[in-house]
Amino acid sequence: MPRKYEPQEIEPRWQRRWEDDGLYVSTPRSDKPKYYALVMYPYTSGDLHVGHWYNFGVADAHARYKRMQGFNVLMPFGFDAFGLPAENAAIDSGVHPFTWTMRNIERMEQQTRTIGGVYDWSKEVATCLPEYYTWNQWLFLKFYERGLAYRAKAPVNWCPKDQTVLANEQVIDGRCERCETPVVRRDLEQWFFKITAYADELLDFSQIEWPERVETMQRNWIGRSEGVEFRISVDGRPDLEIPVYTRRVDTVFGITWVVLAPEHPLVDELTAPEQREAVRAYQEQARRQTEIERLATDKEKTGVPIGAFAINPANGERVPIWIADYVLLTYGTGAIMAVPASDERDFEFAQKFGLPIREVVCPGEAWGHDPSSGVHPELPEAYVAPGTMVNSAQFDGLPSPEGSERIADWFAERRIGRRTINYRLRDWLISRQRYWGTPIPMLYCERSCGVVPVPEEDLPVVLPEDAEFKPTGESPLATHASFVNATCPRCGGPATRETDTMDTFMDSSWYFLRYVDPKYDRPPGFDPDKAAYWMPVDQYMGGVEHAVMHLLYARFFIRVLRDLGLVNFSEPFTRLYNQGIILGPDGYRMSKSRGNVVNPDEYVQKMGADTVRCYLMFIGPWDAGGPWNTQGISGVHKFLNRVWTLATDLTPKPPLPSLGEGAGGEGQASAGGTMAFNEADARLRRALHQTIRDVTDDMDKFRFNTMLAKLMSLSNLMQDLQVSVSGEAWSEAVRALLLMLAPSAPHIAEELWTVELGLPYSIHAQAWPKWDPGLAAEDELT
RNA sequence: GCCGGGGUGGCGAAACGGCAGACGCGGCCGACUUAAAAUCGGCUCCCCGUGAGGGGGUCGGGGUUCGAAUCCCCGCCUCGGCACCA
């Protein structure tokens, strides 16, 4: 009686055996090319959900394929273990964040093991442990020494619910990335990393193969803009000048007013007494707005004149100065020239407040205008495209792009302006007013030394266990007296500690370096030799949600490490793949409130991990994601059952010499008759070698859905032909089928290979099958 | 508004410019079974036809080509990103 396929029995058994044999423990070796496969480490949220399986299970299949192809694969695993939810859980339930986090890690680790992956658990990392965060602190000090970590008072994003500041990257549509509370502005002293120093370099993607859209998102985020910065003088105040930035210096003759951001430092100085009241009221109103309100593009323009006037350096004209919240303090110089004829926003503002509009770039033919006529019909809207310059003195008649260059030169000669480049990217704000994170290793000497870094030999600054972590708007550590009070390492006088903790994106910016040897206990926190062997990551796999956060920070971080002489490459992740999102059976994003959450453990118990892995691969292209179909999974399960039957139940036929009666023609087997062995063999062989060829190609290109479809077709054909093929052809096909299935369904493949067919353990140490182009070729082409 | 991805059966999806719908789900019919499950076999884009066969069909409209789901142009819809960044 043939055995039944029982994944519940097979899977844990093989998982234990692989673990006991250390099958997936990776070490540097010179006889094989290295391949660092990496999945984005999960946050310690508590449970492994389907999305994790989609990432970790499918990524594992690809890594297994690379192993079989002869690569020395490193595929580590760890946990992103600091962060707000642990603290919030502690506040809600009274469990200490450490306890909560470690409990979740234990649980998630067990669940991850049920995937049956090649994850090398000897390399496991948890970022909340001192053995990890010590090196966050060490690296922070290096950044500080290099002038790349600095403290500044700046307007920052404040989440009123989470009671902490956020990096720009963590504000999505004006809301906190975590809790979606509208963010407000605050002026605070905070620690920043100087990512802007690397803005240009981060725009260079030539060393990496990433999805186009991620590159685009990063490019947009960095927002490089080339233009001219020039000074506008203030009427009656020879001591003052207003710097403005523009990309359209060709339009300077069209300036009809100047705008300052409401918070601009010159506003108080310049406001005329009679406007003081109105200005103050406007500033107050602007300050109270949330980011969402302020940045809404469909909002009506608002503003007030401050009663002062500016002199246009191009033509000496006197124009009014306004403040308006459509000008942002944090971009450019926080002040603009307004040219309503050539800018949509200024045009709208002019209409609202009845300000003059003067055409300086004639649209020409496009709008039926004639630049040389001297007649300029009223513009129905701002004309922003290039045209012919008019009303611009000596520059009249020039095409406007050329005019830009000429005026830029003219300003430069007169020393009132220069070409400059602006970025939208802001420096990375890394302070957090929360408990569960890495303490920033800085001290404030109360006597005379000011800001003093904690000496390296005093690291780590240990996060105290006993803190009151209710959010108050101030770091919880600030109320912990024995933590706060310290001694100045320079003068020995009293000092206080920095009580803010680091953004958790600090942790994720280098964890992949720590993985190469997580026990390494010397600076810089990772083994340089092992890192030199394994890095950079060959294939990074994870969600697209980190496109401008983690992925940008890590690229910055590694460049800094390179400049510190700690690594010798610039890009951490050579190739990136973003898998899609698995939706609930109803087609919506899974959420507890919707009640459409699929629990992978349930399906693992019912049908096995191999089935769940294969189903996730089969559902569609990996980058597309899609709804989990409760019924669809049975098709994949049936397929694995069929493979089981093919390999166990159907006894191979004895090899027979083909006698070739009537063979040679391409005739179909007649209905009800049997094919000659050699003809059936030929058909099976051809299909097999075509399958190997196609499956290999699909594997290389992450097309797991069609890869499995082809294995299904092959197994269907084998079933049809099993009564007519020779044992030899059959056996070749069964072995190759199992080898090709091994990455996707590692347990069943191992069981059939090792136990049922008695072939050498382990199938996962075998070479990927090769195809013979001659056998794969079609006999005839029409 | 700008920049990308996409639009193909009842559903998830396939298809070097060359037989549209592989593979799977669901559905229908049949075999096995006392019965059901499981398993196995057949059918399953639409229309006409018992059949062989014929006609139509890949969001809509044009175009290139011997030949277009695929390439080009216009439009519609949809998903994602960015968006008062001067």
Closest Cα partner for A611 from A589, A642, A580?
Answer: A642
Closest Cα partner for A501 from A539, A540, A469?
Answer: A469
Q: For strand B, is any atom closer than 7 Å to the CB of A2?
A: no
Bigger pLDDT: A169 vs A303: A303
Report residue A664 as tokens. 């040679």
Three-state DSSP class for A246? strand
The protein residue nearest B26 (Cα–C1') is A631
* CB distance A571 to A207 below 8 Å: yes
How many alpha carbons lie under 13 Å from residue A642 in its C-beta half-sphere? 19
How do residues A113-126 score in pLDDT, each as one tens digit?
Answer: 999 999 999 999 99
Window A295-324, strand B contacts by Cβ < 7 Å:
295-297, 299, 301-302
Window A340-379, strand B contacts by Cβ < 7 Å:
343, 345, 348
Burial class (CB in 10 A: 0-12, 13-18, 19+), A776: middle
The C-alpha atoms of residue A611 and residue A617 are separated, in whole angstroms, by 10
* Interval A356-361 mean pLDDT: 94
Is the per-residue pLDDT at A41 higher than 90?
yes
* CB distance A440 to A450 below 8 Å: no
Three-state DSSP class for A611? helix
Window A129-188, strand B contacts by Cβ < 7 Å:
172-173
* Interval A357-361 mean pLDDT: 94
* Å from the A637 CA to the B39 C1': 13
- The pLDDT, as a whole number, for residue A299 is 77
The C-alpha atoms of residue A556 and residue A578 are separated, in whole angstroms, by 20
Flag whether the pTM goes above 0.90.
yes
- Residue A337, nucleotide of least CA–C1' distance: B86
* Interval A182-199 mean pLDDT: 89
The protein residue nearest B19 (Cα–C1') is A782
* Å from the A84 CA to the B34 C1': 63
CA dihedral sign, ordered A140, A145, A151, A156: negative
Q: For strand B, is any atom closer than 7 Å to the CB of A666?
A: no
Three-state DSSP class for A554? helix
* Extended strands (E) in A579-728: 582-583, 626-627
- The pLDDT, as a whole number, for residue A194 is 95
- Judged by average pLDDT, the poorest of A24-28, A586-590, A666-670 is A666-670
* CB distance A615 to A633 below 8 Å: yes
Please report which confidence band the pLDDT of residue A311 belongs to, taking 50, 70 and 90 as the band edges. very high
- Residue A618, nucleotide of least CA–C1' distance: B24
Closest Cα partner for A97 from A134, A44, A161?
Answer: A44
Percentage of chain A beyond pLDDT 90 is 71
- Residue A344, nucleotide of least CA–C1' distance: B84
Write down the H helix ranges in A564-631. 600-607, 609-618
The DSSP bridge pattern shows strands A184-193 and A237-246 to be unpaired
- The pLDDT, as a whole number, for residue A468 is 82
Is the per-residue pLDDT at A656 higher than 50?
no
How do residues A73-107 score in pLDDT, each as one tens digit?
Answer: 999 999 999 998 898 888 888 899 999 999 999 99
Please report which confidence band the pLDDT of residue A675 belongs to, taking 50, 70 and 90 as the band edges. low
Produce one character per residue of A221-254: b if its CB has 16 or more CB atoms within 10 Å, e if not. bbeeeebbbbebbbeeeeebbbebbbebbbbbbb
Element (DSSP H or E) covering residue A150: strand A149-159
Kindly list the distances between the CA atom of residue A657 and the CA atoms of A319, A679, A696, A719, in Å, as whole numbers in the listed order: 100, 12, 31, 22
Beta bridge partners of A422: A225
C-alpha torsion angle, residues A54, A57, A60, A64 (rounded to 10): -130
- The pLDDT, as a whole number, for residue A673 is 39
* Å from the A530 CA to the B53 C1': 70
Beta bridge partners of A149: A193
Bigger pLDDT: A596 vs A697: A697
- The pLDDT, as a whole number, for residue A654 is 46
* Interval A534-559 mean pLDDT: 94
* CB distance A62 to A699 below 8 Å: yes
- Residue A715, nucleotide of least CA–C1' distance: B23
- Other C-beta atoms lying within 10 Å of the C-beta of residue A353: 16
The C-alpha atoms of residue A626 and residue A444 are separated, in whole angstroms, by 52
Three-state DSSP class for A360? coil
- The pLDDT, as a whole number, for residue A651 is 56
Mean residue pLDDT of chain A comes to 90
What is the DSSP-derived secondary structure letter of residue A34? E
Closest Cα partner for A442 from A132, A83, A143?
Answer: A143
> Mean pLDDT: which of A574-588, A678-692, A701-715 is highest?
A701-715
Is the per-residue pLDDT at A249 higher than 50?
yes
- Read out DSSP for A420-447? EEE-S---EE-EES-SSSPBP-EEEETT
- The pLDDT, as a whole number, for residue A472 is 74
The C-alpha atoms of residue A646 and residue A667 are separated, in whole angstroms, by 27
How do residues A621-654 score in pLDDT, each as one tens digit?
Answer: 999 988 898 888 999 999 999 999 999 866 554 4
How do residues A417-426 score in pLDDT, each as one tens digit?
Answer: 999 999 999 8
* Å from the A586 CA to the B28 C1': 26
How do residues A374-384 score in pLDDT, each as one tens digit?
Answer: 788 888 889 88
The protein residue nearest B13 (Cα–C1') is A620
Bigger pLDDT: A408 vs A173: A408
* CB distance A84 to A45 below 8 Å: no
Is the per-residue pLDDT at A676 higher than 80?
no
Report residue A292 as tokens. 């969402």
ipTM value, please give it.
Answer: 0.94
**Chain position carrying tokens 């926190």:** A525
Q: For strand B, is any atom closer than 7 Å to the CB of A720?
A: yes
Write down the H helix ranges in A243-358. 266-270, 276-288, 291-295, 344-353
Window A255-284, strand B contacts by Cβ < 7 Å:
261
